[in-house]
Amino acid sequence: MSKTTIRWTSQILILGGALLLIAALSLCLGSADLSVQTAIHSIFSGSNTTEHNILFEIRLPRIILGFAIGGALSLAGVILQGLFRNPLVEPYTMGISGGAALGVSLAIILKLCQSMGLLTLPFAGFLGAALVIMLIYTINIRKKTLKIQGLLLTGVMISFISSSFIMLIMSISRTEDLHRIVFWIMGSLEEPSWFLIKLMLFTSLAGLALSYIFWKDLNALRLGEEEATHLGINTERTKRALFVLASLLTGCAVSVGGIIGFIGLIIPHLMRMFIGSDHRALLVGSFLGGAAFLIFCDTLARIIVAACELPVGVITGILGGSFFIYALAKRGKSIA
């Protein structure tokens, strides 16, 4: 086993250990704190106690959903940054989150939840995201060639258009509908449907497995499309597959959890500083790092203000932005 493989393995184990530690703390901390002994006893006792219900009906679903959404968004960020060769690209840059938010806003203002049930908002969000994905893809495909820069510009413009429509909807909404729209946009891991939680978990893990098929292609694309072609990479097939994969991961995450920002931007940067730029380790490391970061932020959102739960998107924005500024400052000093 080479030194590089040993180093990657140890780094992945460190990230996995950090994820397990954060998940364990998230199980114990909350408005009703539980000791480690109480949590372990509640897990294995199987009795219908208050502690058991808190763990398995409230906190564990949030941890699983945080693992799935955090991993999916971070993985999508790594893929898109490698595809565009631009470290400032993140999943929400492509306008997918704007499409999902617009779909949810329309579903709320049209009162579709009253007739279609709990799955209405996630379905509306995914439908809005899927329509944006198809629109961006259709606009930028020319003679079986996918224009990378066109994807980015089109995504940014669609994001602005979606934001304008959302503000229009909010301006004519009633107070109750306005509150629901704003709360959804700020992001939350409070999802009562185990079906959606399991579906999101399966989607994120399947996305990780599929992305690992393209680690060689992503490494080659770091050198540029022309150089990648000379290395035997089918760049057009790779670009289309990676764009669709990252878009679907983002669309599913946004439709279930709302707009939870900065994970797809900051975590890939931190993982490159910790692991390096080789996608053999970067993909897995970013998935674990994104999952740990979102679970940690959700735990803070539940405990930072007593008897009040903050939107998790607010916490990820504050911490993510601060980490990003720190990373830029550290890189600037190293260059100087």
Write out pLDDT tens, residues 25-73: 888 877 676 666 666 666 666 666 777 677 777 888 999 999 999 999 9
* Long-range Cβ contacts of 144-147 (<8 Å, 24+ apart): 144/236, 145/236, 146/236, 146/239, 146/240, 146/243
> Residues 6 or more apart from 288 whose CB is under 8 A from it?
12, 15, 16, 18, 19, 71
Q: What torsion do the CA atoms of 281, 287, 289, 290 make, to the nearest 10 degrees?
A: 150
Please state the rounded mean pLDDT for residues 99-123: 81
Instruction: Indicate the pLDDT class of residue 114, thresholds 50, 70 and 90.
Output: low
Average pLDDT over residues 103-125: 80
Length of the chain: 336
DSSP secondary structure letter of residue 46: -
Q: Taking residues 119-139, what's their average pLDDT?
A: 87
pLDDT at 35: 64
Residues 167-206: tens digit of each pLDDT: 999 888 888 888 888 888 888 888 778 888 999 999 999 9
Q: Count the Cβ atoms, other than its own, within 10 Å of residue 197.
A: 21
Residue 116 has pLDDT above 70, yes or no: no
Q: Where are the beta strands (DSSP E) in the chain?
A: 141-142, 145-146
In terms of phi and psi (left: phi > 0; alpha: psi -120 to 50; beta: otherwise), the region of 157 is alpha
Q: CA-CA distance, 194 to 197, in Å (whole number)? A: 5
User: Average pLDDT, stretch 241-267?
Assistant: 88
Grade residue 155 by pLDDT with cuts at 50, 70 and 90.
confident
Domain CATH for 284: 1.10.3470.10
Whole-number pLDDT of residue 200: 92
pLDDT of residue 311: 84
Domain with 63, as residue range(s), is 3-335
Determine what percent of the chain is predicted with pLDDT higher than 70.
89
Domains in the chain: how many in total? Answer: 1
pTM of the model: 0.89
| Residue 334: predicted pLDDT | 44
**So what's the pLDDT on residue 336?**
35
Q: Write out pLDDT tens, residues 272-329.
A: 889 988 899 999 999 999 999 999 999 998 888 766 778 888 888 888 888 878 777 7
